[in-house]
Amino acid sequence: MEDVLKTAKERAKLWMSGSFDEDTKAQVKKMYEEGGPELIDAFYRHLEFGTGGLRGVMGPGTNRMNIYTVGMATQGLANYLKKQFAGKEMISVAIAYDTRNNSRLFAETAAGIFAANRFTVFLFDDFRPTPELSYAIRQFGCQSGVVITASHNPKEYNGYKVYWEDGGQIIPPHDGGIIEEVKKISGPEQVNYKGDKKLIKRIGEEFDRKYLDEIAKLSLSPRTIKKQRNMKIIYTPLHGTGVKLIPQCLEKFGFENVESIPEQETPDGNFPTVGSPNPEDPAAFEMAIKRGRETGALLILATDPDTDRVGVAVRDNAGNYRLLNGNQTAAIIVYYLLENLRSAGKLRGNEYIVKTIVTSDLISDIADKYGVECYDVLTGFKFIAGLMKELEGKKRFVAGCEESYGYLAGDFVRDKDAVVSSALICEITAWMLDSGKTLFDLLTDIYLEFGLYRELLVSLEKKGRSGAGEIAAMMEGFRNSPPDSICGSDVMQVNDYLKQKSFDTISHLRHPIDLPKSNVLQFFLRDGTKISVRPSGTEPKIKFYFSVNEKLEKREDFEKVSSLLDNKLESLCREFGIK
């Protein structure tokens, strides 16, 4: 502990002098004099530029998000781009930002640095959804892009995500190359902060309209929407960027009875009406569901601050609202798209679906029914985008999905898109209503055909330096001593994505896994259970994904079978000692 404190103090001293602004120096001096845990946490390490960029608590310090850590990351990225596009006369980048505190400041800081490096910069004139940044990169022919966001993290956080010229988040080898260049920037004195402002081009509402026009082309049931245009929809942006475009998008699709939650329409990085601006958190829906009950809304939608993920609440047969998990919403979207494409005679045999390895295998089952190939990729939508790039011009992309509430249809964006997804979810609800059914009925129909799947994600938070060690030890334990059986069911197969090997426990044969290395373990049990374990790439957590399934013989058995599977999930948690 003394060594850590010593290191923190040495780094803090550098921040109390030199080229740092006076306010930063004063804050660091106060921390230095107190010499407590805040000083250690702010300076015990350099905020790591990971495979997706930066994410951390805001404030002064080497381990914090501030204009200096953002500046050094931007200069490192600029240096890498110069090497990769050495023969290009003018390199260009696009920049977007969300509603978080300091997001605009960080975005403008990055824009100035890129301009100082003689890049053309396309900077949005106000906060925008992350997927629109992906679209802008492709439309303007940029070589890279940056979005300032920490997604659904608490209000203290912000982040810096990097995109490549295809509009997808960076993947190997570029992620590693950028990391190396960022590491070479040891201080703000190596950063070019001031550039020609004429190189910064503003992106405004005209571009929004172009993006929305592209989304509108994805509609498969415009006549149905026209008949059900008064269907009641409640939408909340949770103080985020969705307020900019989702109401406009739903109106463009033809929905005329969409109501937002006024208190949550206000862009506010403090997220005052929710404990967490995360559509995966049931508490985030409380205000919207209350309003839904008052108005009899059929559908409730909530998006996260940067509007790349959407949560859904639907009415069940008893009239109560049920929150769908990401796997359920993904299954509904994939089923709808494939069913309507087939009905219209538009499945030509070269279509494909992409999901992540921790997303429900129900998606694969649905794709199989329609003769559509379903690919598995590593966790993270950037790998879905990577496959889209690889298959571009060879196969036709239909949809991509991940269990963490991220979905995409259409290929003009290369990241999960809650604007697109929200419009499609509303359209599917109208499609079902036209036949006298609900979205919940559609989910039940899917389960009757393919089996009832239940999933559970449990995240264990392990903060700080000691927490990182605990997470590493847990993964090492599972890797070196995998269980033979879990809850009385034999482990039939173990997939180790770090070793890139799949082990069949029956034949004792090992097979290669043709995916990049990743610290993920999966256990497949005799009874159809799938368990995935991995450390989070953006938070101090280790995540456990449980998936169980059982045949559903008749609609009336839905609650009974669901309860049976819920009990099974509870047993699995107890077996792993995590709940």
* CA-to-CA dists, residue 26 to 13, 20, 33, 61, 158, angstroms: 11, 10, 11, 12, 22
Structure confidence by residue, pLDDT tens digits, 352-411:
999 999 999 999 999 999 999 999 999 999 999 999 999 999 999 999 999 999 999 999
Burial class (CB in 10 A: 0-12, 13-18, 19+), 34: exposed
Q: Tens digit of pLDDT for each residue in 519-571?
A: 999 999 999 999 999 998 767 889 999 999 999 999 999 999 999 999 999 99
Confidence bin at 479 (pLDDT 50/70/90):
very high
CATH of 218-450, one of 3.40.720.10, 3.40.50.300, 3.40.50.1950, 3.40.120.10: 3.40.120.10
Give residue 325's identity as a one-letter amino acid code.
N
Say how many C-beta atoms besides its own lie within 10 A of residue 550's C-beta: 19
92, 103, 144, 151: which is the annotated catalytic residue?
151
pLDDT on residue 502: 96
Decide if 218-450 and 452-576 have a common fold. no
Asked if 299 and 313 touch (Cβ cutoff 8 Å), the reply is yes
The confidence band for 177, taking pLDDT boundaries of 50, 70 and 90, is very high
Q: What is the mean pLDDT of residues 493-516?
A: 94
489 is catalytic: no
φ/ψ of 313, rounded to 5, equals -120, 130
Residues near 280 by Cβ (< 8 Å), separated by ≥ 6? 152, 309, 311, 326, 404, 405
Question: Helix (H, G, I), strand (E, B), or coil: what is residue 396?
Answer: strand
CB 562 within 8 A of CB 440: no
Non-local (6+) Cβ contacts of 317 within 8 A are 438, 440, 441
Name the pLDDT band for 109 (thresholds 50, 70, 90): very high
Give the closest residue to 103 by CA, choosing from 147, 72, 145: 147
Residue 331: which of 274, 278, 402 has the closest Cα? Answer: 402
3-state class (DSSP) for residue 415: coil
Class at the top of the CATH hierarchy for domain 70-203? alpha beta
Q: What is the pLDDT of residues 111-161, one digit of tens each?
A: 999 999 999 999 999 999 999 999 999 999 999 999 999 998 899 999 999
DSSP run (H or E) holding 460: strand 452-461
Predicted local distance difference test score (pLDDT) of residue 539: 72
CA-CA-CA-CA torsion sign (13, 17, 20, 23): positive
Q: Alpha-carbon distance 135 to 390, whole Å? A: 18
Q: What angle do CA 315, 317, 321 make, to 5 degrees?
A: 25
- Rounded CA-CA distance 164/344 in Å is 35
Contact 329, 174 (CB under 8 A): no
Please report which confidence band the pLDDT of residue 287 belongs to, taking 50, 70 and 90 as the band edges. Answer: very high
Please say if the pLDDT value at position 14 is more than 70: yes
Query: Greatest CA span in the chain, whole angstroms?
Result: 72
Place of tokens 């998008």: 249
What is the spatial order of strands in the sheet that 351-356 belongs to? 373-377, 351-356, 396-402, 406-409
- The whole-angstrom separation of Cα 120 and Cα 137 is 12
CATH architecture of the domain with residue range 452-576: 2-Layer Sandwich (3.30)
**Per-residue confidence (pLDDT) for residue 366, from 0 to 100:** 98
What are the sequence ranges of the domains in the chain? 70-203, 218-450, 452-576
In this prediction the pTM is 0.94
